[in-house]
Amino acid sequence: MDTLVLRDLSRTFAMGDTSVHALRGVSLTIARGEFVAIMGTSGSGKSTLMNLLGCLDQPTAGDYFLDGIQVSRLDRRQLADIRNQKIGFVFQGFNLLPRTSALENVELPLLYDRSGRIADPQRQAMAVLEQVGLGDRAHHEPARLSGGQQQRVAIARALINQPAILLADEPTGNLDTHTSVEVMAVFQRLNTQGITILLVTHEPDIACYAKRIVELRDGLIIRDEPVAAPRLADSDLLAWPENGSVTGSGRS
């Protein structure tokens, strides 16, 4: 079943007299359980696309169907509930609450969860933090975390509400190779559980853990092809030279 359907989607930003065409008509269909890497040069419109997919922004033209629902028809409240229940979003710039512990940052989506799916928010937050290897940093505030650690807090926050769709905008941008592969291992594990994943990345090495690669240039899709043989992060980690020595806190 198709989860995300984009039809001729465009997004134009008005900048005074001029306007910036970040997306110029993107059509894309992503089925449930896919793992897509979105690539492209800087400024090609990747983040703009992710924001639209994450129901954070509205397209200037075109249609976006999420699980068959036309998103432009939804009101602010329904959009909020979709963001809360269906989507996990990892921002390129982390977007963590300052002066708030990693644990509380991760718990934040559950604060607005009305479904009560997760019985013990704090325990769940701890569990996802451990999943990204940050169990020992739960009570640190973002300012006292490294860039890579902040990025992993952001990933944990995106995972806590057990979303059906995970949208990650350069989740490995600040991570070393080993930790990046660890994150990919987490993503692949989630993907096997049936979660649809869209991942923006610059690195071809990371993109090849996905099952499909979509490339953007100047707001248009220039390439959309399946990955012949996706790499397996778990086996790469096992075969890693000097297992676990690359990051100090990578494993717990």
Partner 1 sequence: MKWRSLILAALRSIARNKLRSLLTMLGVIIGVGAVIALMALGRGSQADIQAQIAGLGTNLLIIHPTSSQTAGVRAGSGTLNTLTMDDVALLDDNAGMLQEVSPVIRVQEQVIAGNSNWNTQINGVSVSYQTIRNHVMESGDFFSERDVKTRNKVAVLGKTVANELFPGQDPVGVQIRIRNVPFTVIGVMQSKGQSSMGQDQDDIILSPWSTVLYRLSDGKTVRTIMASAVSETQMEEAKTEIRALLREAHRIPAGGDVGFDIRDQSEINEMLTRITGTLTMLLSAIAGVSLLVGGIGIMNIMLVSVTERTREIGIRMAVGARPGDILLQFLIEAMILSLIGGLLGILSGIGGAELLGKVMGTAVVVSPMVIFGSVAFTAAVGIFFGFYPARKASQLNPIDALRYE
Q: Footprint of ligand ATP on this chain (CB under 6 A)?
A: 13, 15, 20, 22, 40, 42-48, 92
54 contacts which partner out of ligand ATP, Mg ion, partner 1, none, CB within 5 to 8 A by kind? Answer: partner 1
Nearest Cα to Cα of residue 203 among 176, 242, 222, 221: 176
Q: Please give the full DSSP string across 25-58, using - where no structure is assigned.
A: EEEEEEETT-EEEEEE-TTSSHHHHHHHHTTSS-
Q: Which two tokens stand for residue 32?
A: 């449930």
For the CB of residue 14, give the shortest distance to ligand ATP in the complex, in Å.
8
Nearest Cα to Cα of residue 52 among 224, 219, 208, 227: 219
Q: Which is nearer to partner 1, 73 or 77 (CB)?
A: 77
Q: Which is nearer to Mg ion, 10 or 92 (CB)?
A: 92
Residue whose pair of structure tokens reads 């990933």 in the numeric block: 155
137 contacts which partner out of ligand ATP, Mg ion, partner 1, none, CB within 5 to 8 A by kind? Answer: none
Nearest Cα to Cα of residue 72 among 143, 153, 7, 17: 7
Residues near Mg ion (CB under 5 A): 47, 92
Hey, is 244 helix, strand or coil?
A: coil
Chain centroid to Cα 204, Å, comes to 17
For the CB of residue 54, give the shortest distance to partner 1 in the complex, in Å.
8
157 contacts which partner out of ligand ATP, partner 1, Mg ion, none, CB within 5 to 8 A by kind? Answer: partner 1
Q: Which is nearer to partner 1, 12 or 249 (CB)?
A: 12
Beta-strand relationship, 61-66 and 69-70: antiparallel
For the CB of residue 241, give the shortest distance to ligand ATP in the complex, in Å.
30
Q: Which is nearer to partner 1, 56 or 185 (CB)?
A: 56
Residues near partner 1 (CB under 8 A): 51, 54, 56-57, 76-77, 80-81, 83-85, 89, 91, 95-99, 108-109, 111-113, 157, 161
For the CB of residue 204, give the shortest distance to ligand ATP in the complex, in Å.
14
For the CB of residue 224, give the shortest distance to ligand ATP in the complex, in Å.
16
The answer to whether 94 and 151 have CB atoms below 8 angstroms apart is yes
Handedness of CA 118, 121, 126, 129 (dihedral sign): positive
For the CB of residue 177, give the shortest distance to partner 1 in the complex, in Å.
29
